[in-house]
Amino acid sequence: MNSVTLPDQKIMYNALLHKDSSFEGIFFVGVKTTGVFCRPTCTARKPKKENVEFFPSTKEALRYGYRPCKVCHPLQRNGETPAWLKGLLKEIEQNQVVKFKDADLRERNIDPARVRRWFKKYHGMTFQTYLRLLRINTAFGKIKHGEKVIESAYDLGYESLSGFAESFKKTTGFSPSKSKEKRIVTVTRILTPLGPMLAGVIDEKICLLEFVDRRMIETQIERLKKYLNAEFIPGQSKLFDELDKQLKEYFNGKRKKFDLPLSLPGTEFQIKVWKELQRIPYGTTRFYQQQAVALKNPKAIRAVAKANGDNRIAIIIPCHRVIGKDGQLVGYGGGMWRKQFLLNLERKNS
């Protein structure tokens, strides 16, 4: 078992006791007294600390002879779209105008309550809210590119212009007529072995990729809103598919460099720091001082560290590759255990 890639055992056991969902996908726990392994969020009775051992993957737990728990189903990836829902989501992707009432779902042999529960659990919103946000996002794009407000409203299934305008303003914070002056960041959640990440796209460029449990994520979002003069709305983008693909390749050790367009709003110094981060080779590390020297400003060590902390695009802009001069892991918004995981992953596949 490769315990180096895992958080401290006290942290993991505490997460198990409190059913901490932020550790989903990070570790699995084997219960010696029952021979089963579980998710951190398993609702079964909690074992004593001396009766558990932790694994970084289901593969490792199975290799050590544990069988999957029948309560929490650890072999099913947390948050992964279940088979019964995939067809419905494909329909929505192909036609974002379509409306689904409970009766429509039942015709497809889908329980409406089950759909609501899934969307509430994994997206923090109801199914109908999700559909409405998609329609508003699509409407914004149409108006932004020259289509009249009234045409966009009726094309997307709204029966009245006033109803469309009210829904649009409630969602975006501005009226449809101001769409050409405003911008929208389309956001979604992407699952990774280190937990879910929030991804944002604007003008077909990635402007945000952060772990959803990062403490400063709300602050980062507010800063982006001001920098970009934009609102954040859940939606779909082809770039999300490519981002998900490249992240999977990275975590599987098959990708060492990302090839994705990025939007990096910030100060001139921050942008220089973030671009310099991208020059650190895969599988290597740099000290903050070395980064400052590379920027031809050797005394700006603290400023470099602060700019690293303000990085909004984790992994792709590899701030995890910068460490303290004594070799210690310092300063990572996603948590030191994630930083250690990423460094171990890269060293292993270098």
345 backbone dihedrals φ, ψ, rounded to 5°: -60, -45
Pick the range with the lowest mean pLDDT from 27-36, 69-78, 180-189, 235-244: 69-78
Among the three residues 161, 178, 195, which one is the final residue of a domain in this structure? Answer: 178
Task: Among 142-146, 171-175, 258-262, name the most confident range.
Answer: 258-262
Encode pLDDT of 336-346 as tens digits. 888 888 998 99
Same domain as 209, residue 236: yes
Strand partners, 186: 201, 233
In a domain, 73, yes or no: no
The whole-chain average pLDDT of the chain stands at 86
In a domain, 78, yes or no: no
Whole-prediction pTM value?
0.68
Encode pLDDT of 277-325 as tens digits. 999 999 999 999 999 999 998 888 999 999 999 999 999 999 999 998 8
Q: Which residues are catalytic?
A: 319
Same domain as 170, residue 188: no
Edge-to-edge strand ranges of the sheet holding 197-202: 205-211, 197-202, 183-190, 230-234
Among the three residues 178, 205, 225, which one is the final residue of a domain in this structure? Answer: 178
pLDDT for 81 beyond 80: no
Report the number of distinct structural domains present in the chain: 4
In a domain, 77, yes or no: no
Same domain as 141, residue 93: yes
pLDDT for 4 beyond 60: no
- Residues 232 and 254: their CA atoms lie apart, in Å, by 32
Q: Which of 28, 35, 38, 32 is nearest to 69 (CA)?
A: 38
| pLDDT mean over 234-262 | 93
Position 79 confidence tier, pLDDT thresholds 50, 70, 90? low
Same domain as 146, residue 162: yes
Same domain as 309, residue 241: no
In a domain, 263, yes or no: no
pLDDT for 1 beyond 50: no
pLDDT for 62 beyond 50: yes
Q: Supply the pLDDT for residue 77.
A: 64
Domain region containing 139 = 83-178
Same domain as 327, residue 293: yes
| pLDDT mean over 262-288 | 95
The DSSP secondary-structure symbol of 310 reads T
pLDDT for 3 beyond 50: no
Q: Supply the pLDDT for residue 241.
A: 92
Same domain as 174, residue 192: no
DSSP character string of 61-98: HHHTT-EE-TTT-TTSPTTPPPHHHHHHHHHHHH-TT-
- Percent residues over pLDDT 90 in the chain: 40
Same domain as 46, residue 14: yes
Encode pLDDT of 197-247 as tens digits. 899 999 999 999 998 888 788 888 999 999 998 888 888 888 999 999 999
Same domain as 189, residue 168: no
In a domain, 32, yes or no: yes
Among the three residues 35, 68, 101, which one is the final residue of a domain in this structure? Answer: 68
